[in-house]
Amino acid sequence: MIDLTENEGGSCAPMIIPFHALIDTTQTFCYFDGTLDKDGKEVLVDKFQIPQNGLYIDNDVEAKYFKFDTVQVLPLVNNKIPVIVLISGITGSSGEIAACHFLGQKNVTVIGTKSAGLTSGNELYYVDKGYSINLMTALLHNRKGKSYDVGERINPDIKITYPENIQSRKEQHQYILENKSIFINKALEFLTSGGI
């Protein structure tokens, strides 16, 4: 069970690096930056590659900082086990990327509410005199072939609904924090009923 219900974002790399042995493909997500090829098809960029030997080679600053290219991840004996990914309306940005890392895999079920809808790729540009601006430069694209629109949320496979009296995002946020057991219990119920 991978709990992303309170993950509002940050760096996605530390969240997805430990789980590569659970993934059944070599490429899980990427981005669409608006570029089309000569046939009008989307040109996908920044494809996240799963290493075959358990060793990540990545040239970006974050990878070098975390020394991903020096840590050998041990393979799992059984990587066909059911994987439950919990998401909520709080799950945003890199939390959504972490969920997307698993989307479309047969032994994975996403349980929860719709995510926050921060599924864009952002890039930091330095302007002048210590100022910088973080611009949306691309849209998240999952391995099933879907590019998420600006503000589009990830839909769970098994949906948890809010009580009728809860309407605003603030109320939903509070409900999620106060009722975490509902997400866990839904996952356990699914697993014990022979789900997946």
pTM of the predicted protein model:
0.83
pLDDT digits (tens, 9 = 90+) for 88-107: 999 999 999 999 999 989 99
Percent of the chain exceeding pLDDT 70 equals 86
Name the packing angle between helices 169-178 and 180-192 (round to 10°): 60
- pLDDT at residue 45, as a whole number: 83
Q: Which two tokens stand for residue 34?
A: 């608006």
- Report the alpha-carbon distance of residue 169 to residue 98 in Å, rounded: 22
What is the DSSP code string of 109-176? Answer: EEEES------EEEEEEE-STT-EEEEEEEEEEETTSPBPPTTPPPPPSEEPPPPTT--SHHHHHHHH
Stated as kind and residue range, the H or E segment containing 11 is: none
State which residues of the chain have pLDDT below 50.
none
Q: Which two tokens stand for residue 116?
A: 């926050």
- pLDDT at residue 55, as a whole number: 55
Domain boundaries, the chain: 2-192
- For the domain 2-192, what is the CATH code? 3.90.226
- pLDDT at residue 76, as a whole number: 72
pLDDT digits (tens, 9 = 90+) for 115-145: 999 988 888 889 888 899 988 888 898 888 8
